[in-house]
């Protein structure tokens, strides 16, 4: 395909940015790709991997003459990065981001936007518990959803162009209002991560169970909690601090549900438990039917030689 953007700049070179670079190169959606990262170590790794056509030492150099700039930094750093690149943006450039929170990103980025660029916030619902440039792969976005939260004055032609670029990476695109996005993600991503962190923390503090027993006898449920809890600490710290209202609301609802289940267990109410688990099981089936996960045994984990799973 012909390039959707002649030059794409990636600010931050972790899992998401690395995967964007690989997918854009594979699809031909970008003519050239420039990139930068905060640390010399990450920039060096990106150079070794040849993630981009050009790896530079600062964001100002990366965005020079870029038609599309993608902010791939933690939510808490978006405003600072935007203030740095503001004087160096090409007139007509499109600015987007990959942050898991949208209202706060819009509030942080908007004051630093020059009049001659287009800001279209976004969020790819794709990722793993891995981080850093070595964790990226071109198929990360395949059949995953990439949400855009266009602002009231968004240029329709630029929005359509960004959608074409995202689809070229393999993703499905949908628009969503920013506040609704933050509520939806509090349910589907943010609160589940917090619960996973909490469960692993409970195991860490439970003195009646030794650390060696927790590791040695981890069943499938706890292993999946630890996988989620292995996600990047900086990113998730910023997510919770910047989407606290929605997360606290969902946590309150979760606590109420937990009290109901506690009572059912205490009172021996097997009918309630069975009905509740049947209802929630249907949601898992719906996710599989929507093509957003696999029903393969052991959650689709591949087996290594000797029977060891790639957990």
Angle at which helix 244-266 crosses helix 191-205, to 10 degrees, equals: 60
Q: CA–CA distance from 105 to each of 32, 208, 234, 247, 255 (Å)? A: 27, 43, 16, 16, 28
User: Do 302 and 310 form a contact (C-beta atoms < 8 A)?
Assistant: yes
Reference 159, options 150, 169, 168; nearest CA is: 150
At residue 296, the pLDDT reads 57
For residue 135, the 8-state DSSP code is G
Residue 40 host element (H or E): helix 40-49
Q: How many CB atoms lie within 10 A of CB 58?
A: 14
d(CA 243, CA 150): 18
Q: Of 181, 113, 127, which is closest to residue 149 (Cα–Cα)? A: 181
Record the tokens describing residue 146, joined without a space: 């990439």
The reported pLDDT for the residue numbered 129 is 67
**What is the structure's pLDDT at 130?**
74
- Our CA dihedral for 45, 51, 52, 57, rounded to 10 degrees, sits at -20
Q: What is the pLDDT of residue 87?
A: 96
Mean pLDDT by 10 residues, the chain (311 residues): 94 94 96 96 93 95 97 94 96 96 96 96 85 87 95 96 97 96 90 83 66 62 73 83 89 90 92 88 74 56 36 28
Give the Cα separation of 141 and 155 in Å (integer). 25
Set out the domains of the chain in order of their start, with CATH numbers: 5-176 (3.40.50.720), 180-266 (1.10.3660.10)
What pLDDT score does 293 carry? 63
């Amino acid at each position: 395909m012909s390039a959707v953007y002649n030059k794409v700049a990636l600010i931050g070179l972790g899992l998401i940015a690395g995967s964007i670079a690989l997918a854009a190169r594979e699809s031909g959606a970008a003519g050239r790709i420039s990139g930068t990262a905060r640390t010399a170590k990450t920039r060096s790794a990106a150079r070794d991997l040849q993630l981009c056509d050009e790896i530079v030492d600062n964001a100002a150099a990366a965005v020079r003459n870029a038609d599309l700039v993608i902010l791939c930094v933690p939510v808490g750093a978006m405003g600072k990065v935007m203030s740095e690149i503001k004087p160096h943006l090409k007139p007509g450039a499109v600015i987007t981001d990959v942050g898991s929170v949208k209202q706060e990103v819009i509030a942080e980025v908007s004051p630093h936007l020059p009049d001659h660029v287009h800001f279209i916030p976004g969020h790819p619902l794709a990722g793993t518990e891995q981080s850093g440039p070595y964790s990226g792969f071109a198929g990360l976005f395949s059949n995953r959803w990439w949400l855009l939260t266009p602002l009231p004055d968004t240029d329709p032609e630029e929005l359509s162009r960004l959608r074409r670029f995202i689809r070229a990476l393999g993703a499905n695109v949908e628009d969503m209002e920013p506040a609704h996005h933050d509520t939806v993600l509090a349910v589907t991503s943010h609160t589940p991560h917090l619960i996973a962190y909490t469960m692993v923390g409970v195991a860490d503090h439970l003195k009646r169970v030794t650390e060696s027993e927790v590791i040695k006898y981890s069943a499938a449920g706890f292993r999946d909690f630890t996988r989620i809890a292995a996600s990047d600490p900086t990113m998730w710290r910023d997510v919770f601090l910047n989407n606290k209202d929605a997360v606290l609301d969902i946590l309150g609802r979760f606590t109420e549900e937990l009290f109901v289940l506690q009572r059912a267990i205490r009172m021996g109410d097997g009918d309630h438990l069975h009905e509740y688990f049947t209802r929630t099981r249907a949601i898992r089936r719906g996710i599989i039917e929507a093509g957003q996960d696999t029903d393969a045994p052991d959650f689709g984990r591949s087996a290594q030689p000797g029977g060891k799973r790639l957990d």
